[in-house]
Amino acid sequence: MTFLRRVPRRLIQLTCFVGAVVLIWPLLPWAIAPRSFVQASPFVAFASSIATRSISVGAVLALLIAVVSSFKKRWFCLYLCPTGFLLENTSRAGLRKARWWSKCPPVGRYIAVLTLAGAVAGYPVLLWMDPLCIFSSPFAMNKTTSLISVILVCLGLGVLLGATFIFGMLWCVRICPLSGLQDLLFSMRKALWTRLTASTSPQKFGVARRAFFAGAGGALLAVWARRVGAARYSKSDTLLRPPGAVPEDRFTGLCIRCNNCVHACPSKIIHPDTGREAGLAGFGAPVIKFDRDYKYCLETCNACTQVCPTGALAPLDLQSKNKYVIGEALVDNNVCLVPLGKKECDACERACPYDAVKITWDEEQYIAYPVVNDKCIGCGACEVVCPTIPVKAIRVWTQKPA
Amino acid sequence: MRRSIATGGLFAAGSLMPVSSTPANQPAQQSTTQAETRVPATIVDGRVVQPRRELPVLQKTSVLIVGGGPAGTAAAFSAKRLGVDVTLVERYGYLGGLATGGLVLGIFPLYDRNNRQVIFGVGEELMKKLDVLKYGIIDRNKAPIYPTIDAEAFKFVLADMVLESGITAYLDCWGVDAIVDAKGAVRGAVFESKSGRQAILADIVIDCSGDGDIYAAAGAAFEKVKTNIGLISRIGNIDEVDMAVGRGSEDAEHPVTGKPGSGRPSKGRVNDMNGHAGNSTPAPHVNWLNMKGPVGDALDVADLTAMELKHRRGTWSNVEKLRQKPGNEQVYLAETAPELGVRLSRLLDGCKKLTVQDIRSGAKFNDVIGYSGAYANAPEFQIPYGSLVPAKVENVLAAGRCISADFEVADITRLIPVCWVTGQAAGLAAALCIQDKCKPRNVNVTKLQNLLHQQGAYLG
């Protein structure tokens, strides 16, 4: 660690900041770089590993950072964190210079405990507060197609920058769950150290009690959120998640709104949700909407599943992705041109990459109409080519159990 | 291929030449005296045998066009304008083929993805002639809505043009065979009509039969495809059911919610036609009703007969069902199309087979002769001259739905305006062959493209 002291801290921060931008942009020919960047956060890596009951290769770096941080207090924040670098400089230019926040309680560590406890219940409640995830999100801007999406992807970082400008370093020092987690690790390591070396162990029941309540609260919140999410999904008709998405009850918790999937989608069909589809719990989480001309979930692409840092979208290979059911295409025969005897049309049949739509002749009714079979995964290729105006005759709907 | 169809049958397969020594431009009356010399088929050893016989030559011409549909008429008009001798033969008693007799009244696809019209030339001229007629055509220049023509108006326009242009036309005259010389080059075609079996000798034959009957008989390689065969009909008093549908618009109100398509459709719901059936036509209160139909073999008379009968019965009962909906009591079946809606049968193996990859990649051809409009997820695409020329057989060109293309591409090139495009190009190419004394495959493409430009065609 001594060699680091010789290099000015700001220079390391700047290097890390530039490195982060290079990784997320992504300027490297490394498809999973945006995922690896967010996974470097121990908060994200630990909570998502617990929630998904699996350990990703990317989590090893996070473990390393966690170990170093437990010896060197807030080492990550001071040297590596690009969000910290941004906020530090914002606060220098900001309105409040006084260190008034030192009087505030250390909320961050309770958020960390609450989230980790939620993760045990499968729903890491406040994981979206991770600073690396908030930093990563605005990069999705070059794949957004509406002003509302631009606002949504920039919301996190925008709020932090604004708040820091006005109130100073409150977020970094007191609220950030990643710094809170580092504090926890540091004091735990120290406590362990003291217990091993000293004969008397200093007890701090107050901290432990608060941590216990935060944990219990997190677990309860997680159970409640999962039930609400599942109920909401069963009622929804139009909610479509990107391929690889875990079941809806856990999705809104596991998804940290890093918008890496929005950023990765070449078709630009993944949008951050305004809450219209999945309610408050789903605010900012990715949904699929086939609202751009001829763009659908390509059978040649699994980019979104590769960049998710938490496993909210499982890392599927192309073959499995092409079997993942996003939704089901249904035909409204009172709109479709074929059964109504309007113009020659077999657009959906032609467009389907999976041979799932067939215009079928019904000898009994003496009429033809499109029939969707089990091969349909809801990629939307049919919906985007359907020529009916103003509403498509064939549309992808939320899949319902048969 | 030729042997099974050739006139000589078992005795004279492949030995049709010389056909006749009778002089050209023989008056039609003289054919009746020749008909008396016909020798009927006989039974030899329990097999029906057509004896070898000489055929009367009805006419000698420069360009013979078999089939008077959209492609055939476009070919005839464009070739005639170059001053060559043109003969047009049609199996039905009217011109226009599926555009009139098939009631394929929608002129689609005319536009590219940006709703710009890409098909002009003879087609545009015909539509302009329809423009000036009352109840002739609707929705002109209203992209993305495509125009709809009236069958009778179009029959009138075509009849008028043929009568004025000096084209020799024979209607009610079915092209049944090719006349092939010793080198395998096409020299004309054989026809069956009330005047019996007759030959027309020609320098170039354009096969606009739709089924590629002539090039197949001449021995050109082709791909046989089977697809849906329907029967279009027209229903009356439909405007009184729902005025909101409008001409050619495709919006429809959802029967339950009243909002367009806002409800989640249930799987496999039965269609109730809901009073929006069909597309409006220039004739007031009349819609034309498309039918997909089952898959059938358009080259099998049993399949065709079954379709003709079942489609007419099915159409009648569907209109009865439609009439049972409240408010639809006045709907009636105006007519079923005289011709079956055969979509595709034979596809030529040409010098260039137009493939799906070509149209997806937006392939550009040096020998481009026109464009097809955008259809479904396929963008507008170029059609090369090579797709009209058979790979091996000489003196014959294909135009219309039977040109050289993949099934998926042919499913677009078979549509009316694209038939106009290929017909016009084939007509001009044939006329150029006469003028330059060359084979169709050696036509000067630059000259052909200049002529197409002069006649108002769009080549990009």
Is a pLDDT exceeding 80 seen at residue B232? yes
Backbone Cα Rg of chain A: 24
Quote the CA–CA distance of A178 and A94 in Å, as a whole number: 23
Cross-chain Cβ contact A366/B315 below 8 Å: yes
Q: H/E/C letters for each residue in chain A?
A: CHHHHHCCHHHHHHHHHHHHHHHHCCCCCCCCHHHHHHHCCHHHHHHHHHHHCCCCCCHHHHHHHHHHHHHCCCHHHHHHCHHHHHHHHHHHHCCCCCCHHHHCCCHHHHHHHHHHHHHHCCCCCCHHHCHHHHHHHHHHHHHCCCHHHHHHHHHHHHHHHHHHHHHCCHHHHHHCHHHHHHHHHHHHHHHHHHHHHCCCCCCCHHHHHHHHHHHHHHHHHHHHHHHHHHHHHHHCCCCCCCCCECCHHHHHHHCCCCCHHHHHCCCCCEEECCCCCCCHHHCCCEEECCCCCCCCCCCCCCHHHHHCCCCCECCCCHHHHCCCCCCEEEECCCCCCCCCCCCCCCHHHHHCCCCCEEEEEECCCCEEEEEECCCCCCCCHHHHHCCCCCCCCEEEECCCCC
Quote the CA–CA distance of B297 and B439 in Å, as a whole number: 33
Among A8, A14, A16, A64, CA closest to A40: A64
Instruction: Kindly report the nearest CA distance between residue A188 and chain B, in angstroms.
Output: 55
Among B105, B61, B50, CA closest to B87: B61
Return the CATH architecture of domain A326-402.
Answer: 2-Layer Sandwich (3.30)
Position A204 scores a pLDDT of 58
Instruction: Kindly report the nearest CA distance between residue A151 and chain B, in angstroms.
Output: 28
Cross-chain Cβ contact A346/B262 below 8 Å: no
Average pLDDT estimate for B167-173 = 97
- List the domain boundaries for chain B: 1-26+53-225+344-460, 229-342
Position A337 scores a pLDDT of 86
Position B321 scores a pLDDT of 84
Q: What is the pLDDT confidence band of residue B15, given thresholds at 50, 70 and 90?
A: very low
CA distances from A227 to A241, A274, A289, B77, B458 (A): 18, 21, 25, 73, 62
Average pLDDT estimate for B87-101 = 97
- More confidently predicted of A319 and B246: A319
Is a pLDDT exceeding 80 seen at residue B5? no
State pLDDT tens for residues A240-256.
Answer: 999 999 999 999 999 99
Residues of A in contact with B263 (CB under 8 A): 332
Amino acid at position A172, single letter: C
Residues of B in contact with A330 (CB under 8 A): 264-267
Position B253 scores a pLDDT of 45
Mean pLDDT of chain A: 89
Mean pLDDT of chain B: 86
State pLDDT tens for residues A77-100.
Answer: 988 999 999 999 998 888 877 777
Quote the CA–CA distance of B455 and B63 in Å, as a whole number: 18
Is a pLDDT exceeding 70 seen at residue B259? no
Which chain A residue has its CA at the smallest distance from B264's CA?
A237
Residues of B in contact with A381 (CB under 8 A): 377
Instruction: Kindly report the nearest CA distance between residue A366 and chain B, in angstroms.
Output: 6
Interchain CB contact of B455 with A (< 8 Å): no
Cross-chain Cβ contact B261/A388 below 8 Å: yes
| Burial class of residue A187 (count of CB atoms within 10 Å of its CB; 0-12, 13-18, 19+) | middle
Interchain CB contact of A266 with B (< 8 Å): no
Cross-chain Cβ contact B376/A389 below 8 Å: no
Is a pLDDT exceeding 60 seen at residue B262? no
Position A262 scores a pLDDT of 94
Which chain A residue has its CA at the smallest distance from B266's CA?
A330
Query: Which residue in A237, A369, A389 is closest to B271 by CB distance?
Result: A369
Interchain CB contact of A346 with B (< 8 Å): yes
Among B207, B205, B167, CA closest to B85: B167
Quote the CA–CA distance of B8 and B192 in Å, as a whole number: 14
Residues of A in contact with B271 (CB under 8 A): 333-334, 339-340, 365, 367, 369
Amino acid at position B232, single letter: I
Q: Which helix (H) or strand (E) holds B125?
A: helix B122-131
Position B3 scores a pLDDT of 40
Amino acid at position B26, single letter: Q
Vertex A254, ends A251 and A260: CA angle to 5°?
95
State pLDDT tens for residues A178-203.
Answer: 999 999 999 888 888 888 877 655 55
Burial of A198-230, coded b for 16+ CB within 10 Å and e otherwise, reads: eeeeeeeeeeeeebeebbebbbebbeebbeebe
Instruction: Kindly report the nearest CA distance between residue B381 and chain A, in angstroms.
Output: 16
Position B140 scores a pLDDT of 92
Quote the CA–CA distance of A266 and A43 in Å, as a whole number: 29
Quote the CA–CA distance of A132 and A113 in Å, as a whole number: 18
Residues of A in contact with B287 (CB under 8 A): 341
Is a pLDDT exceeding 50 seen at residue B129? yes
For testing contact with chain B, the best of A294, A343, A364, A379 (most B CBs within 10 A)? A343
Cross-chain Cβ contact B254/A335 below 8 Å: yes
The distance between the two most distant Cα atoms of chain A, rounded to a whole number of Å, is 91
Which chain B residue has its CA at the smallest distance from A374's CA?
B267
For testing contact with chain B, the best of A234, A299, A342, A358 (most B CBs within 10 A)? A342
Amino acid at position B14, single letter: G
Query: Which residue in B146, B250, B376 is closest to A346 by CB distance?
Result: B376
Among B281, B226, B284, B222, CA closest to B99: B281
Which residues share a beta bridge with B117? B111
Which chain A residue has its CA at the smallest distance from B356's CA?
A350
The residue to which tokens 């005759």 are assigned: A393
- More confidently predicted of B99 and A74: B99
Interchain CB contact of A374 with B (< 8 Å): no
Q: How many residues does chain B have?
A: 460
For A:308-337, CB contacts with B below 8 A are 330-335, 337
In sequence order, which residues have a C-beta less than 8 Å from that of residue B355 and are 6 or more positions away? Answer: B405, B406, B409
Backbone angles phi, psi at A371, to 5 degrees: -120, 130
Among B152, B208, B204, CA closest to B416: B208
Weakest mean pLDDT among A201-210, A292-301, A343-352, B21-30: B21-30
Is a pLDDT exceeding 60 seen at residue B275? no
Pick the CATH number of B1-26+53-225+344-460 from 3.50.50.60, 3.20.20.70, 3.10.20.600, 3.40.50.300: 3.50.50.60
Cross-chain Cβ contact B251/A338 below 8 Å: no
Residues of B in contact with A378 (CB under 8 A): none
Residues of B in contact with A368 (CB under 8 A): 228, 291-293
Cross-chain Cβ contact A366/B106 below 8 Å: no
Quote the CA–CA distance of A182 and A71 in Å, as a whole number: 10
Cross-chain Cβ contact A340/B293 below 8 Å: no
Amino acid at position B164, single letter: E
Q: What is the pLDDT confidence band of residue A32, given thresholds at 50, 70 and 90?
A: confident
Q: Which helix (H) or strand (E) holds B161?
A: helix B151-165
Position B296 scores a pLDDT of 95
Among B7, B228, B234, B198, CA closest to B104: B234
The strands making up B233-236's β-sheet, listed across from edge to edge, are B279-280, B286-289, B233-236, B332-336
Quote the CA–CA distance of B267 and A200 in Å, as a whole number: 72
Residues of B in contact with A388 (CB under 8 A): 250-252, 261
Which chain A residue has its CA at the smallest distance from B281's CA?
A342
Instruction: Kindly report the nearest CA distance between residue A244 and chain B, in angstroms.
Output: 24
Cα B316 from chain centroid?
A: 26
Instruction: Kindly report the nearest CA distance between residue A361 and chain B, in angstroms.
Output: 6
Weakest mean pLDDT among A10-24, A317-331, A381-395, B381-395: A381-395
Q: Which helix (H) or strand (E) holds B288?
A: strand B286-289
Cross-chain Cβ contact A366/B314 below 8 Å: yes
C-beta separation of B33 from B174 below 8 A: no
Q: What is the pLDDT confidence band of residue A341, given thresholds at 50, 70 and 90?
A: confident
Q: What is the pLDDT confidence band of residue A6, given thresholds at 50, 70 and 90?
A: low
Which segments of B262-300 does DSSP mark as H helices, in order?
none
Q: H/E/C letters for each residue in A225-272?
A: HHHHHHHHHHHCCCCCCCCCECCHHHHHHHCCCCCHHHHHCCCCCEEE
Cross-chain Cβ contact A351/B377 below 8 Å: yes
Which residues share a beta bridge with B200? B59, B189
- List the domain boundaries for chain A: 2-229, 326-402
Quote the CA–CA distance of A10 and B443 in Å, as a whole number: 75
The residue to which tokens 């199309």 are assigned: B337
Residues of B in contact with A389 (CB under 8 A): 249-251
Position A27 scores a pLDDT of 85
Interchain CB contact of A299 with B (< 8 Å): no
Interchain CB contact of A397 with B (< 8 Å): yes
Average pLDDT estimate for A310-316 = 93
In sequence order, which residues have a C-beta less than 8 Å from that of residue A276 and are 6 or more positions away? Answer: none
Residues of chain B with pLDDT > 90, as a percent, come to: 73
- More confidently predicted of B263 and B71: B71
State pLDDT tens for residues B181-223.
Answer: 999 999 999 999 999 999 999 999 999 999 999 999 999 999 9
Instruction: Kindly report the nearest CA distance between residue A306 and chain B, in angstroms.
Output: 28
Quote the CA–CA distance of B459 and B405 in Å, as a whole number: 19
Amino acid at position A161, single letter: L
Weakest mean pLDDT among B31-35, B59-63, B91-95, B348-352: B31-35
CA distances from A369 to A334, A339, A361, B269 (A): 10, 5, 7, 10
Residues of chain B with pLDDT > 70, as a percent, come to: 83
Which chain A residue has its CA at the smallest distance from B255's CA?
A334
Q: What is the pLDDT confidence band of residue A356, given thresholds at 50, 70 and 90?
A: very high
Position B4 scores a pLDDT of 39
Number of DSSP helices (H) and strands (E) in chain B, helices first? 12, 22
Classify strands B196-207 and B396-398 as parallel, antiparallel or unpaired.
Answer: parallel
For testing contact with chain A, the best of B264, B271, B333 (most A CBs within 10 A)? B271
Which chain A residue has its CA at the smallest distance from B265's CA?
A332
Position B260 scores a pLDDT of 43
Interchain CB contact of B411 with A (< 8 Å): yes
CA distances from B55 to A133, B41, B59, B450 (A): 87, 15, 12, 40
Instruction: Kindly report the nearest CA distance between residue B457 and chain A, in angstroms.
Output: 25
Weakest mean pLDDT among A210-214, B65-69, B132-136, B362-366: A210-214
Position B242 scores a pLDDT of 42
Weakest mean pLDDT among A88-102, B43-57, B79-93, B261-275: B261-275
Quote the CA–CA distance of B314 and B396 in Å, as a whole number: 39
What pTM value is reported for the model? 0.83
Residues of B in contact with A390 (CB under 8 A): 251, 260
> Cα dihedral sign for A122, A110, A197, A71?
positive
- More confidently predicted of B5 and B156: B156
Cross-chain Cβ contact B295/A368 below 8 Å: no
Count Cβ–Cβ pairs < 8 Å, chain A vs chain B. 118
Position A197 scores a pLDDT of 79
Residues of chain A with pLDDT > 90, as a percent, come to: 54
Structure-token pair, residue A216 = 């219990």
Among B372, B370, B381, CA closest to B456: B370
Position A4 scores a pLDDT of 60
Query: Which residue in B260, B376, B408 is closest to A390 by CB distance?
Result: B260
Is a pLDDT exceeding 70 seen at residue B31? no
Is a pLDDT exceeding 50 seen at residue B11? no
Position B250 scores a pLDDT of 37
Position B244 scores a pLDDT of 37
Q: How many CA atoms lie within 13 A of B388 on its CB side?
A: 40
Q: What is the pLDDT confidence band of residue A378, given thresholds at 50, 70 and 90?
A: very high
Is a pLDDT exceeding 60 seen at residue B12? no
In sequence order, which residues have a C-beta less than 8 Å from that of residue A192 and are 6 or more positions away? Answer: none
